[in-house]
Each structure stands twice: as structure tokens, then as C-alpha cells.
Amino acid sequence: MTSSLQNSEKAIGTSLLDRVGNTPLVRLERLTEHLSGVQILGKAEWANPGGSVKDRAASAIVADAQRRGQLPPGKILLDATSGNTGIAYAMLGAALGFPVTLCMPSNVSPERKHILNAYGANIVWTSPADGSDGAIRMARKLAAEQPDRYFYANQYGNDNNWKAHYYGTANEIWKQTGGRITHFVAGLGTSGTFMGTTRRLRELNPKIQCISMQPDSPFNGLEGLKHMATAIVPPIYDEHLADRNIDMPTERAYTMCKRLGRTQGLLVGISAAAAVAASLDIAEEEAKAGREAVIVTILCDSADKYLSERFWSEPTEEEAAKDAVDSEQFAGQRA
């Protein structure tokens, strides 16, 4: 009775899964007010029910596995994740009734650990020194040892990851900008967001410039992103797809996190701030060249999971340099 009611067209309310995707496109007006003819817009991916862009890939991966009968009752969904995909799987597992085991580095933020625990996921912790690659190796090992126990979702090599963005994110952006998008900017983790969105946007208008962004070093604070030159390269990643790539220092992302909070009223995650910093580089170049531009980027998640990071209360390099100048001037006036 209940399920037939839920399945009928007359069902009331929204299912959790229907809330994945169709996120708002937020104008970051104050960032570009000094640049004429240029706009930056961000997809507010924290509006997804699990709080991040990864709900899109995870729900596409799970839906495909269920269609193919790869997740029969009792079978455990297994994957490696730096956090957000794990949260998405854990939410879906809780909502749809399948168990979830995640391999992840033990230095993920305490907020993520609390969220995963709240959804009831089982975690296999890996060494922080091995980063997300250590988690990938562990997931591969478990899947190889017990293939009957686990469905290895393999977000790094699963085509449903990028297809979620090909069919979803890209078409949403096209519609929300009325086809006016000129540039697309996104960070690379599994690369699913960039690959899928870029492929579809190029079909819709081959002139759209698609720019990838990644950390400028293997040791970085851009959670969720990969330094491709030194990481296990995801099988779904095609390095030839981007028109260009921007290498992002962690410090710039931290500074942008604080700036977006204080001047836009937007508390975004670190990779989102990095994507905005890269978009601002493009915006400045376009304005300097006298070209109009509609730059769209992906705000992967909100600041909620990163609020315990120290950078929020520490001065940025820019602020520290200004403080040093101020105190030198003060000392000079007193002398």
C-alpha cells in the first residue's frame, strides 16, 4: 500500500533522490564589480541532499548498479573516497537500504567522520601519509579478496560518474545561463565533474572555453582535488579535454574562502574557493582583453565540513604582510 502510494503519480512531497541536482546558479557579483562585462556564477552544489556535488555521481553509480543487479540484498557497496562521495554513498545506503563500506585516509576532517557515523557507514581507515591513493589501493585489495561480499563502485573508473554531469550539470548550466556561458571552470578530483560537463557543453557550443584546476603541489590542503602529475590518474580522466589548466596554491583558496564569507555572505568549501579563485583569474584576463564573459564554476560544497580548520582564524599571507607594514609605520611614527 505504502509503496504503491509512493510510486503513484499522486505521491505527496519529494523523495530524497529527487533532490539530487537542479542546484541554484549563484551570482558572485561583488567579486567582479571592478571588471566590466564579466560575470562569475557558481553552481551551489551544497543544495544537494548530501551537501555536495558528489551526490550526482554517487546516485548515478548506485542507480546503474541496481539496474544491473550488482547490488542485491546483503551486498556491500565499497569504494575509496576522500569524503564527499563517501557521504553521498552513506546517505543513499541509509535511504535505499544497502550497507556501505568506505576506505578513506584517517585525516579527513572530524566533521566528515561525524556525518559518516550519523549515516551508519562502516569505515576502513588508511594512512594519511598515503593520501587518497592509499584509500584506492585498500579498496582494490578488499574488492579483489572478497568479490562476492562487495560491489566495488570504483568512482575513479566508473563512467556513470562523468555521465551524471554530462546529462545533469551541463544541461542545467546551459539552461540557467540561457546558453550565454562562455567559460567553464572546475577542479579535478576523480575528474568526473569536469569531464562530463565539458563534453556536453562542447556539444552545445564548441566555442565554450573549459578550464580545469588542480592543486599546484602533491602536498596541499585542497580536499577532494588531485595533483594529477603525481597521483594515481583516474581512468576516467582525459588530459587532452581541457582548453587549459590552472595550478592553484592552497593559500589562495584559503584567502578566497574568507573573502567569499566576508564579502559575498557565502561560506563555501576549500575546493569551491579554489575554483572561484581560478575563475577570477579568467575574469581578469577577459576584462583586460576587453571581452565580455559569462564564467560558470562549480561550488562543490559549503564550508560546514571545514569550519574546524585553522586558516579561518589565522591571518592570510596578504593580511600578515599588511600587518607587518602597519606595525612598521606605527613604530616609525613613535620613533
54 vs 258 by CB, closer to ligand PLP: 54
Residues 6+ apart with CB under 8 A from 66: 96
Of 295, 191, 185, the C-alpha closest to 239 is: 191
The catalytic residue among 59, 191, 271, 279 is 271
Alpha helices in 97-241 (DSSP H): 110-119, 131-145, 159-164, 170-176, 192-204
By CB under 6 A, the count of residues binding ligand PLP is: 21
271 is catalytic: yes
Residue 193 binds ligand PLP, judged by CB under 6 A:
yes
38 vs 61 by CB, closer to ligand PLP: 61
DSSP codes of every residue in 251-266: HHHHHHHHHHHHHHS-
Residues 6+ apart with CB under 8 A from 60: 160, 161, 163, 164
Distance between CA 154 and CA 263 in Å, rounded? Answer: 39
In the complex, what is the shortest distance from the CB of residue 34 to ligand PLP, in angstroms, rounded to a whole number? 28
Q: Residues 34-63: x/- map of binding to ligand PLP (CB under 6 A)?
A: ------------------x-x---------
The catalytic residue among 43, 54, 163, 258 is 54
Of 188, 198, 142, the C-alpha closest to 165 is: 198
Q: Residues 271-310: x/- map of binding to ligand PLP (CB under 6 A)?
A: x----------------------------xx---------
The binder of ligand PLP chosen from 269, 278, 282, 293 (CB under 6 A)? 269
In the complex, what is the shortest distance from the CB of residue 190 to ligand PLP, in angstroms, rounded to a whole number? 3
72-111 residues in contact with ligand PLP (CB under 6 A) are 82-85
Written as nine digits, the cell of 294 is 559569462
56 vs 286 by CB, closer to ligand PLP: 56
Check residue 263 and give left, alpha or beta (phi > 0: left; psi -120 to 50: alpha). Answer: alpha
What are the residues facing 211 on neighbouring strands?
185, 244
Residue located via cell numbers 572555453? 209
Residue 192 binds ligand PLP, judged by CB under 6 A:
yes
54 is catalytic: yes
134 vs 189 by CB, closer to ligand PLP: 189
14 vs 308 by CB, closer to ligand PLP: 308
In the complex, what is the shortest distance from the CB of residue 222 to ligand PLP, in angstroms, rounded to a whole number? 8
105 vs 187 by CB, closer to ligand PLP: 187
DSSP 8-state code for residue 31: G
In the complex, what is the shortest distance from the CB of residue 316 to ligand PLP, in angstroms, rounded to a whole number? 20
Instruction: Give the angle subtended at the CA of 229 by the CAs of 301 and 55, to the nearest 5°.
Output: 25
What are the residues facing 319 on neighbouring strands?
none
Written as nine digits, the cell of 254 is 584559503
In the complex, what is the shortest distance from the CB of residue 30 to ligand PLP, in angstroms, rounded to a whole number? 23
In the complex, what is the shortest distance from the CB of residue 253 to ligand PLP, in angstroms, rounded to a whole number? 11
DSSP 8-state code for residue 216: S
Candidates 217-225, 240-248, 256-264, 280-288; binding stretch for ligand PLP (CB under 6 A): 217-225
C-beta of residue 274 within 8 angstroms of C-beta of residue 251: no
Q: Residue 300, Cα to own-chain centre: how many angstroms?
A: 3
Residue 225 binds ligand PLP, judged by CB under 6 A:
yes
What is the binding site for ligand PLP (CB under 6 A)?
Answer: 52, 54, 82-85, 187-194, 223-225, 269, 271, 300-301
Residues involved in catalysis: 54, 271
